[in-house]
Chain A
Amino acid sequence: MNEWLDPLLLSRWQFGLTTIYHFLFVPLTIGMALTVAIFQTAWVRTDKAKYLQLTHFFGKIFLINFAMGVVTGIVQEFQFGMNWSDYSRFVGDVFGAPLAFEGILAFFLEATFIGLWIFGWDKLPKKVHLATIWLTVIGSITSAYFILAANAFMQNPIAYTINAEKGRAELTSIGELLTNPIALAAFPHTILACFMVSAGLIISVAAWHLARNQHFETMRPALKFGMWMMVIAGIGTTLAGDQLSLVMGEVQPMKMAAAEALYHTATGANASFSLFTLGTPDGVHELFSIRIPYLLSFLSTHTFDGTVQGINNLQAQYVATYGPGDYTPTIWITYWAFRWMIALGLLHMLVAVVGLFLTRKGRMPTQKWVWSLAIWSFPASLLAMTVGWVFTEMGRQPWLVFGLLKTQDGVSPGVTGVEILISLIVFTLLYGILAVVEFRLILQAVQKGPDDAPVPDAESGELTQTVTVY
Chain B
Amino acid sequence: MDLTILWFWIIAAMFIGYFVLDGFDFGVGMSLPFLGKDDTDRRVLINTIGPVWDLNETWVIVAGASLFAAFPEWYATMFSGFYLALLLILVALILRGVSFEYRHQRPESSWKKWFDGMIIVGSAVPALLWGVAFANVVRGVNLDVNHDYVGTFFDLLNPYALLGGLTTLLLFFVHGVVFVSLKTEGDIRMRARKLATRAGIVTIVVAACFLVWTTFAYGTVASALFAALTAVALIASFLANLRGAERLAFALMAGTIGLAVLTLFASLFPDVMPASNDPANSLTIANASSSTYTLGVMSWTALIGMPVILLYQGWTYWVFRKRIGRAHIAVAVH
Contacts and interface: CB of A to CB of B under 8 A. Distances in A.
Interface of A: 63-64, 66-68, 70-75, 77-78, 80-83, 85-86, 88-89, 91-97, 99-105, 107-109, 111-116, 118-120, 123-124, 163, 168, 170-172, 174, 412-415, 419, 422-423, 426, 430, 434, 437-438, 441, 444-445, 466-470
B80 A81 contact: yes
For the complex of A and B, 4 pairs with smallest distance between CB atoms = A92-B72, A81-B79, A96-B69, A103-B62
Interface in B270-285: none
Interface residues of B, number: 76
B94 interface: yes
B332 to A, nearest CB: 4
B97 A67 contact: yes
A89 B50 contact: no
Interface of B: 43, 46-47, 50-55, 57-58, 60-62, 64-66, 68-73, 75-81, 83-84, 86-87, 90-91, 93-95, 97-98, 100-106, 144, 146, 148-150, 153, 290-291, 293-294, 297-298, 301-302, 305-306, 309, 312-313, 316, 319-320, 328-329, 331-334
A88 to B, nearest CB: 4
B61 A103 contact: yes
A302 B91 CA distance: 48
Contact of B333 (A105, A108, A467): A467
Given A77-B61, A96-B290, A115-B55, A67 B98 contact: yes
B84 A422 contact: yes
A108 B301 CA distance: 14
Nearest to B296: A174
Contacts of B306: 104
Nearest to A112: B55
A66 B91 CA distance: 17
Given A81-B79, A115-B316, A174-B297, A104 B97 contact: no
Nearest to A99: B65
B128 to A, nearest CB: 18
Given A71-B94, A71-B97, A93-B72, A470 B104 contact: yes
A246 B305 CA distance: 35
A111 B294 contact: no
Nearest to A56: B333
19 contacts: A67-B98, A74-B61, A74-B93, A81-B79, A91-B72, A93-B291, A100-B68, A100-B70, A111-B57, A112-B55, A118-B50, A120-B51, A170-B294, A412-B80, A414-B81, A466-B333, A468-B332, A469-B329, A470-B104
A78 B79 contact: yes
A163 B50 CA distance: 47
B50 A470 contact: yes
Nearest to A128: B319
Nearest to A108: B309
A430 to B, nearest CB: 6
Contacts of B60: 74
A83 B90 contact: no
Of the listed residues B71, B294, B329, the one surrounded by the most CB atoms of chain A closer than 10 A to its CB is B294
A171 B72 CA distance: 13
B43 to A, nearest CB: 7
A118 B79 contact: no
A82 B80 contact: yes
A426 B332 contact: no
B293 A172 contact: yes
A432 to B, nearest CB: 13
Contact of B294 (A74, A97, A107): A97
With a 10 A CB-CB cut-off, give which of B73, B86, B93, B101 has the most chain A CB atoms: B101
Contacts of B298: 97, 100
B291 A163 contact: yes
A163 B291 CA distance: 10
Nearest to B149: A414
A470 B80 CA distance: 36
B305 A415 contact: no
Contacts of B83: 82, 412, 415, 419, 423
Nearest to A63: B101
A86 B72 CA distance: 10
B73 A89 contact: yes
Nearest to A442: B105
Contacts of B328: 469
A437 B64 CA distance: 29
A97 B298 CA distance: 7
A53 to B, nearest CB: 14
A67 to B, nearest CB: 4
Given A108-B55, A108-B58, A466-B333, A66 B72 contact: no
A93 B76 contact: no
Contacts of B316: 112, 115-116
Contacts of A77: 61, 64-65, 68
Given A99-B65, A107-B58, A115-B51, A71 B301 contact: no
A415 B294 CA distance: 28
Nearest to B322: A123
B163 to A, nearest CB: 25
Given A99-B69, A103-B58, A437-B98, 13 more contacts: A67-B100, A74-B93, A81-B64, A85-B77, A92-B290, A100-B62, A107-B62, A111-B57, A112-B316, A172-B293, A413-B146, A414-B80, A434-B94
Contacts of A81: 64, 68, 75-76, 78-80
Nearest to A66: B101
